[in-house]
Structure 1
Amino acid sequence: MDKQLALSAFAALSQSTRLDVVRLLIKAGSDGMFAGEIGEALDVRQNTMSANLSILTRAGLIRSERQGRAVRYFADMNGMRGLLGFLMEDCCGGRPELCQPLLNEISCPC
């Protein structure tokens, strides 16, 4: 992940509703959730939710899949791994192999 995308991801996560959306979608796992379900779960209006989902998608933190007329959203685990990798790429005095056990622990095979 490059610096600009990391900054975009951090900016997206710095807003309370968007952080809640990402956490909710991580919890939903491979089932994901429809936009309306996310809005209901978080008590957020449709137009506000749509804007937040767009920001998170552009930041590479969530992805969507059209299913008929509806759109299902998922946490983008590759994007999450990229962000975590960006944070830790220079860890341990430039010896990332020392951090590998931590990276293995926090990355799930989802």
Structure 2
Amino acid sequence: MEKHRALNALSALSHDLRLDIFRLLIKAGPLGMAAGQIADRLEVRSNTLSNNLTILTSADLIRSNREGRSIRYFARMETMRGLLAFLMEDCCGGHPHLCQPVLDQIACDC
């Protein structure tokens, strides 16, 4: 991951509601969640949610799929793995193999 994309993702996650949305979508796994479900679960108005979903989408942290009149959202785990790999690239005092177990642990396609 390049530095600019990492900064975009970190910036998007630096807001409490967006972090809550992303974590909720991670928990939802491959089934994702409809926008209305997210709004209900987080007790947030749909227009506020929509703005924050747009920011997360622009940062490539989530993706969406239209289902009739509803939109379902999914966490993009490959982006999060890329971000974590970027952050840990030079970890462990020049011994990056020590950090590999952490990256392997999140390598699942949740």
Q: Same fold (TM over 0.5)?
A: yes
TM-score (norm 2): 0.92
Spell out, residue by residue over 1:66-95, the C-alpha distance to the aligned partner (whole angstroms, 9 max, x if none). Answer: 112221001111111111111011112343
- One-letter amino acid of the counterpart of residue 39, structure 2: G
Matches within 5 A, 1:84-103: 84-103=84-103
Q: Which residue of structure 2 aligns with residue 44 of structure 1?
A: 44
Aligned 1:11-90 pairs, distance under 5 A = 11-90=11-90
Identify the residue that residue 3 of structure 2 maps to in structure 1: 3
Output the TM-score relative to the length of structure 1.
0.92
% identity of equivalent residues: 64
* Gaps in structure 1 of 5+ consecutive residues: none
The 3-state SS of whatever aligns with 1:64 is strand
- Match of 1:72, SS state, is strand
**Unaligned stretches of 5+ residues in structure 2:** none
**2:106 paired with 1:106:** yes
**Residue correspondences, number:** 110
> After TM superposition, what 4+ stretches of structure 1 lie above 2 angstroms from structure 2?
92-98, 106-110
